[in-house]
Structure 1
Amino acid sequence: MKKPLFLFLFSFFCIATSSFAQITPPFLQNPNQRWVDSVFNSLTPDERIAQLIMVAAHGYPMNPKRVIIDTTFSNPRVVAQYIRDYKVGGVIFFQGGPVQQAQLTNYYQSISKVPLLVAMDAEWGLAMRLDSAVRFPYQMTMGAIQGNDDLIYRMGKALAAQKKRLGVHINFAPSVDVNNNANNPVINFRSFGENPQKVFEKSYAYMKGMQDGGILSSLKHFPGHGDTGVDSHFELPVIAHNRARLDSVELYPFRKLIEKGADGIMMAHLAIPVLDTAKNVPSTLSKPIVTGLLKDQLHFNGLIYSDAMNMKGLTKYFPNGTGDAKGLEAGMDVLEFSPNLPAAIAEIKKSIAEGRISQAEIDARVKKVLAAKAWVGLAQFKPIETKNLIADINDKESELLNRLLTENALTVLKNEGYILPIKHLEKVTIASVSLTDAPAATATTKDGVVALGTRNETASTGDLTTFQKTLSLYTNVDHFIIHPQTPDSVQSRIRSALKSYDVVLVGAHLNNIRPGTNYGITPTTATWVKELANNGNSIITVFGNAYSLNKLEGISNAKALVMAYQLTPFTEELSAQLLFGAIPAKGKLPVTVNAQFGYGAGLDIPAIGRLKYTIPEEVGLNSQWLSFKIDSLANNAIAQKATPSIVVQLAKDGKVFYRKAYGTHVYPTPLKMVNVPPRPVQLTDLYDFASVTKIAGSTMALARLHSEGKFNLDGTMKDYLPDYKNSNKADLVWRQVLTHQARLKAWIPFWRDTKNADGTWKKKTFSWGKTAHGPYTVQVTDSLWLHKKYSKKIFDAIRESPLNEKKEYIYSDLSFILYPQVVQNITGVPFEDYLKTNVYRKIGANSLTFNPRRFYDLSKIVPSERDTFYRETLIHGRVHDEGASMLGGLSGHAGLFGNANDLMKVTQLYLQKGRYGGESFISENTMNEFTSYQFPESRRGIGFDKPCRGRDCGNAPKSATAMSYGHTGYTGIMIWNDPAYNLNYVFLSNRVYPTRDNNKISTLNVRTAIMQVVYEGLGLK
């Protein structure tokens, strides 16, 4: 992209008028001169030369049976020989493992006369070279971040800490090349982008973070490798620009960073005729460039490193050590990756003898290197402790930074019709298509996972991409995977299936970032992207290089387009969250792709208040500590047989930071009477919510109706239940009813009236059989059917029941049994339909349902009790509460099932004052009213439980504030919100298995103790 003339002139003017006032590199500010002089004086002239050379090493163990990539110079025995015999100044490590590298570093340091400077190329973290290490985003990904460069600073500092832990002192990073050539084979995604000012700003944040972390940096590749079409690893690129262009673009970030105290700069192997007319002389070996430009004109006095001296762009013209000598003659301080150490030292000695470089120049550079060694702590070298090394360099702070950097980089390039974020979940059918090079092609439906043409028509969610798994957290999404080996017949079936969906979420998973591989775009991916983009209903997310957009024909026709910049678990997970509005879109393209997608393109899209999924560190908690505490409580409860299973989900500020399932559906010890295997619990498994139905169902409906002015808390029962006009409950006020102090009886054991004194069922009440027949249509068990009119007896019993004499708090189920009638009387819509249509489907809480056997396999539903006195069978997939079971499994006091994630969507709606997903469901005034104490003598809100005031009682955690509210369920459920700290807690268990007589879940205080851990972790004891 051509820069406007006024910007060009402005940039040039700023450079031309620079005062060159600059900060001294940190390692030269207060050098340990005594140590430097002492070490220097111990070195022979040959050893001084060797101090300016770094040899290559690999982090592999010294195993003679292992094949080393290059046995000439990176074999540990060869490296050790160079250290012993030549006294080299340092090593640069390439591929390997952290522990092996640390062990080799300890060994190399133990045999070195002078402590070695240890370096690595780790532009995007240690994972650039090592297994089992953190991979930070590529620089181009971070180039998309707008106005939040503090994250890059934090990344630099975190990387410095990891390097120090590993015994590494130099990171050859950042790349400050201004990449304005889409076909650049060597820089490309390694650059922050094409804007020189932004490259400077982001490079400074990275450099300063490393410096403040005690690590030497190295800006590269001077004087700028961003506009090359040739890879200097194989040939010498030529930069043909004039000086004005170099000053305003390529040199600009280097100049500004030198002024900011740059401590190291790496030279590039480039031919730049305007700076040096000598033919085939790379800038690495050019005195006019290294000394004339970098030192004299730009006043750089830090360490000048060569790029790898074995690269063909240099050795093709300067082999056998001649390049090493010429590099020092040009003005460099450290020769990195010298391929022939003996020849290099011989040539350098020859250069000194012939006067092309003086011994004084060598000595000055050695002292500068020694000053750097002292600054990084080598004056007091200590061996690396390898215990816990891998855990230490994979810290949670780095994972958090990865998430935040990724989140801030994600860029929306198109959003036709404001389709993003996806809203109105109840109105759209959604499919996802992941285009990968993975070896499986699967599709899932709402009924489970179905393979398409492979694996004998079976598959599991393990086949899904991280992108797809995260999408499923928000609503029902049917998933498809296509790869180059997917048979044409299967692709045809997918093509047909996709026609029935309103929205198709496409993930282009590009497994290679480099232009030489066409950015990892396979013909299959290209074909499908073009086809899906033209269908008019596709939202495409590209997990790959930004320049890949120019290689994906027709992609601009997509309804919406998201650029994720690379393929990682973080980009997949967070892109999915962006599509549903859990996080905002803030990134901007750092490069020009083509006329359609220019530099700076990107739409700002705000979040709309859906749950975000993250790690505890994002909300100020320690993952390791939190997991230890909660794991201990949950596992102890299971070990004590308080419950066979537990699911815990926790959120703060709308961010889900803990989701974990414990135990099995039933206890592993087999019971002959129970034919249920002890399946490990999954986060998606459904539980019987028991009395939490009161909050997630009845209270939800009433609060919504109250917001609409259709339900009056100070009205009476007869107002919404005409049958109660002549009953003793006609004038009971709903506010008192909903706070359990309207004198209603606690409960009525309806089931007892269905049995005779000898325990047999009464005639004409039940019938047995596999199917309904005649009037017996209410299924209670697999083979037991209740008379369809029996519900009338239940409602009559409630209406005719006596009231308690004293008006006091008595927790009662009775009114909640009536709320489905109240809701239908007000709205004309059946209770379950009202909830699903007006709330659950809108917020994506699709697992919430009554009678889940209609929609789910029993393997997805956690059993409750082995009923030995009424139904005389295992209660599995049917409501545990006897009264609710006699009402067909649907009641306002019990009967709702669901998973933890969907239940949390309901409780988060409450916490957000009635809003969720950009839509208002309940007014703020109503939420404030319903969640407030109603009467001085009661701890209840409207429907909600609250902490006791001034005494230790109730169901709240110890540190819960007076603003908090929630509810528990008889089967072992608990929800609790604390608006004071924006905390949201969901606890699921089936403590009633195998018997309700087991109340250890309460005696062990498991439910409240787990939430109390969060308060303690936040310092709120």
Structure 2
Amino acid sequence: MDKKSSMRFLSVSLLFILLFTNFMPLMANADAMVSQGNTRFPEEEPTSRIFARDRQVFKGYEGKGHILIENYGVESAEVYINGNEIKVDEVLKEKHGKRIFDIGEYTVNGDNTIKVLNVEPEGTYLDIHLFYPKIGIGNPEDVGFSNKKLAEIDDFINKEVEEGFPGAVLLVLKDGKIVKNTAYGYKLKYDGEKLLDEFQPMDPDTIFDLASNTKMYATNIAIQKLVSEGKLDVNKKVIDYIPGFTGDTRENIKVKDLLNHTAGFAASIKFYMPDNPLGEEFFSHDREKTLELLEKAPLEYETGTKTIYSDTDYMLLGYIIENITGQRLDEYVEENIYKPLGLKNTKFLPLEKGFTKDEFAATETLGNTRGGERDFPNIRKHTLQGEAHDEKAFYSMGGVSGHAGLFSTTKDLAVLCQTILNHGGYGNTKLFDGNVLDQFTKPSDNSITFGLGWDRAGNMDKVWQFGPYASNLAVGHTGWTGTLTVIDPKHDMAIVLLTNKKHSKFEDGKFEGDDFQTGLYGSIVSLVYEALLENN
């Protein structure tokens, strides 16, 4: 077999595997299905407008999609996808039949319609489960990108690597397809201050310290899930979930104040340092003690009068999740969010859960010492690889916190991004309601660039993060270690840029990696949008 034939065989094999792995979970879990909308046809309480009955819109993609139909006594019915009747005779042969149907022949990108008519006999019904779209692998040109312009992004980032930028992985997800997942540079260049003789190359499966993207991929999603399940109300007060949260007007702070970063807390409390500005009373390298100290965290300004991005807000939100669920944050999100989605590389404390250091992008070269310029008890001085960089998360919260500590890969994050683009679900897993997501991603009362826990493009105030082309519906987050997410529903697109820009020399009060455009986010995001919008 020649090289060209071998590549063709490999491509076909990969396509078969992708289709097989996407379809089999639907069959395996057919008894526990969720759906994008109401599932019963005919509706139990139909409108008096006869041509508005038994019709729904669902999200789909061209050439992809499955529905599960369960029959409850129906002998005849007509089921239409985008006006095309699908043959459902085989499920009607059995009064309690159940079948999965491939509807890819009729689906389109975006909004699709389903209607179910003439269900007979009276009193019988069909349950139709509309699975959420799952991602696949695609050709950039098929979804509107210029391959030439995407290649120019590769050239740009690779040039910055040659000039000293450590490394990155860039993923682009469009119309349900990963059209780019490219690695650049190196996951490890230094052992302490020593430059290695041989660098460890970055690869697309490298696991990154997400830093504050933890707020989005763990805490926000968990809270949206709990709200959808009626277990948490963001309009209730924090004291309703943390009984010890009293004094200094804390009793008036609502959960949504934490999400909006308007609760009144300073940007950070340095629990990990005995000489922190609040005094030794607020020094803690013990997770339980830190949680107790959070109940006493002093306010810096009157609640609701300012918007100050604060890690303390999210440390408290993680605490709330734990009090509601009775599980530590990592246990809850890994069991109830990541596992149902099939995500195996999204973890807190990954080195304690079977991963090895060489799977990770390294961060700071000398622990948390900033080039040896600072010191505090138990400070790490080795090159960090697979350990949470954030000091509050690592030292004060045992590696598990609502504001930082999560690790992941671009591929895992693509699934979470698609869940957001799907308005709350993925495949046969529903995490939260679409209307809850709408509430969380709309502008806050104080700022168009903040939602409930989400960064918003909103206007040009965050062009450094979202670039100049993102729609005003785009949401996302950044992480101090060099991570970025942009999710743009208008373009049905997500951009995930994971870098290890802190894995560089620290001189004159800054990391060398911070000076490169790749680690400044906005330029790369802008170039990705141009590859789409300027593809003439």
Aligned to 2:357: 858
CA deviation string 1:184-220 (max 9, x = no partner): xxxxxxxxxxxxxxxxxxxxxxxxxxxxxxxxxxxxx
Is residue 1016 from structure 1 mapped to residue 530 from structure 2 by the alignment?
A: yes
Q: Distance in 1 between matches of 2:326 and 2:273?
A: 32
Which has more radius of gyration? 1
Aligned to 2:472: 962
- The alignment partner of 2:435 has SS state of helix
Shift of 1:915: 0.9
Query: For the Cα contact (< 8 Å) 1:809–1:938, is it kept in 2?
Result: no
Partner residue of 1:636 out of 140, 151, 159? 159
1:407/1:889 Cα in 2 relative to 1: closer, same or farther (>3 Å)? closer
> Normalized against structure 2, the TM-score is what?
0.70
User: What does residue 249 of structure 2 align with?
Assistant: 728
* Runs of 4 or more above 6 Å deviation: 133-137, 405-408, 583-587
Separation of aligned partners in 1, 2:326 and 2:250: 23
Rounded to whole Å, the distance in 2 between the matches of 1:1002 and 1:958 is: 20
In 2, Cα distance between the equivalents of 1:689 and 1:411? 30
Q: What letter corresponds to residue 1004 of structure 1 in structure 2?
A: Q
Q: Distance in 1 between matches of 2:156 and 2:451?
A: 29
2-structure distance, mates of 1:732, 1:683 = 42
Tell me the secondary structure at the aligned position of residue 980 of structure 1. helix
SS at 1:752 equivalent:
coil
Q: 1:740 aligns with which of 261, 264, 270?
A: 261
Distance 2:222 2:25 in 1: 29
SS of corresponding position for 1:817: helix
Partner of 1:343: none
How many correspondences in the alignment? 421
**Secondary structure at 2:442 match in 1:** coil
How far the C-alpha of 1:919 sits from its partner, in A, is: 2.2
Equivalent residue for 1:1004? Answer: 517
Query: Residues 677, 132 of structure 1: CA spacing in aligned structure 2 closer, same or farther, 3 A cutoff?
Result: closer
Q: Distance in 2 between matches of 1:975 and 1:934?
A: 20
Name the SS for the 2:215 alignment partner.
helix
- Which residue matches 2:203? 682
Q: 1:625 and 1:826, CA in 2 relative to 1: closer, same or farther beyond 3 A? A: same
Q: Show the counterpart of 1:880.
A: 389
Determine helix, strand or coil for the equivalent of 1:800: coil
Alpha-carbon offset, residue 672 of structure 1:
5.5
Cα RMSD for the two superposed structures:
3.7
SS in 2 for 1:753: coil
Q: Secondary structure at the match of 1:859?
A: helix
Question: What SS does structure 1 have at the residue aligned with 2:224?
Answer: helix
Structure 1 window deviating more from structure 2 (792-801 vs 971-980): it is 792-801
Which is strand-richer, 1 or 2? 2
Change (3 A) 1:1002 1:905: farther
Cα distance in structure 2, aligned partners of 1:951 and 1:820:
28
8 Å Cα contact 1:411-1:586 kept in structure 2: no
Please state whether the residue corresponding to 2:182 is helix, strand or coil.
strand
One-letter amino acid matched to 2:432: I
Match of 1:971, SS state, is coil
Residues 856-935 of structure 1 mapped to structure 2, 5 A cutoff:
856-865=355-364, 866-867=366-367, 868=369, 869=374, 870-886=379-395, 887-935=397-445
1:652 maps to 2:161: no
How far did residue 660 of structure 1 move?
0.9
Q: Which residue of 2 aligns with 1:752?
A: 273
Q: Which residue of 2 aligns with 1:710?
A: 231
Show the 5 A alignment for 1:10-49.
none
Secondary structure of the residue that 2:466 maps to in structure 1?
A: coil
Match of 1:817 among 315, 329, 335: 315
Of 324, 327, 351, the match for 1:826:
324
Report matched runs for 1:260-339 at 5 Å. Answer: none
The residue that corresponds to 2:218 in the other structure is 697
Structure with the largest fraction of helix: 1
Match of 1:625 in 2: 149
Matched residue, 1:452: none
> Which one-letter code corresponds to 2:158 in the other structure?
N
Which residue number in structure 2 is paired with residue 781 of structure 1?
none
Q: Which residue of 2 aligns with 1:842?
A: 340
CA distance in 1, matches of 2:217, 2:511: 25
| 1:845 shift after superposition | 1.3
Q: With a CA cutoff of 8 Å and minimum separation of 6, indicate the structure with the bigger relative contact order.
A: 2
Pick closer, same or farther for the CA change 1:614–1:959 going to 2, 3 Å: same
Change (3 A) 1:1009 1:686: same
Once the two structures are superposed, residues 757-805 of structure 1 have per-residue CA deviations (whole angstroms, 9 ceiling, x without a partner) of xxxxx9xx9xxxxxxxxxxxxxxxxxxxx864x6414641562313325
Deviation digits for residues 842-898 of structure 1, max 9, x if unmatched?
A: 111111111111221111112111232342222222110101012111101000011
Q: Using the TM superposition, give the Cα deviation of residue 639 of structure 1 relative to its aligned residue in structure 2, in angstroms.
A: 2.9
What percent of counterpart residues are identical? 25
**Contact 2:259/2:453 (<8 A) preserved:** yes
2:330 match: secondary structure: helix
Change in Cα spacing, 1:725 to 1:639, as seen in structure 2 (3 Å) is same
Contact 1:750/1:794, CA 8 A, preserved across alignment: no
Structure 1 residues 965 and 420: CA distance shift in structure 2, 3 A? closer
8 Å Cα contact 1:585/1:606 also seen in 2: no
- Structure 2 counterpart of 1:994, from 504, 509, 512: 504
Give how far 1:621 is off: 1.5
| Residues 472-551 of structure 1 aligned to structure 2 (within 5 Å) | none
Query: How many Å separate the matches in 1 of 2:403 and 2:218?
Result: 8
Match of 1:941 in 2: 451
CA distance, structure 2, for counterparts of residue 715 and residue 1002 of structure 1 = 43
Mark the CA change 1:872 to 1:965 in structure 2 (over 3 Å): closer, same or farther: same
> In the alignment, is the contact (CA less than 8 A) between 2:306 and 2:446 conserved in 1?
no
Superposed, 1:335-484 pairs within 5 Å as: 419=24, 421=26
Shift of 1:611: 1.3
2:355 partner letter = Y
- Render the CA deviation track for 1:466-514: whole Å, top value 9, x for unaligned: xxxxxxxxxxxxxxxxxxxxxxxxxxxxxxxxxxxxxxxxxxxxxxxxx
1:939 deviation in Å? Answer: 1.1
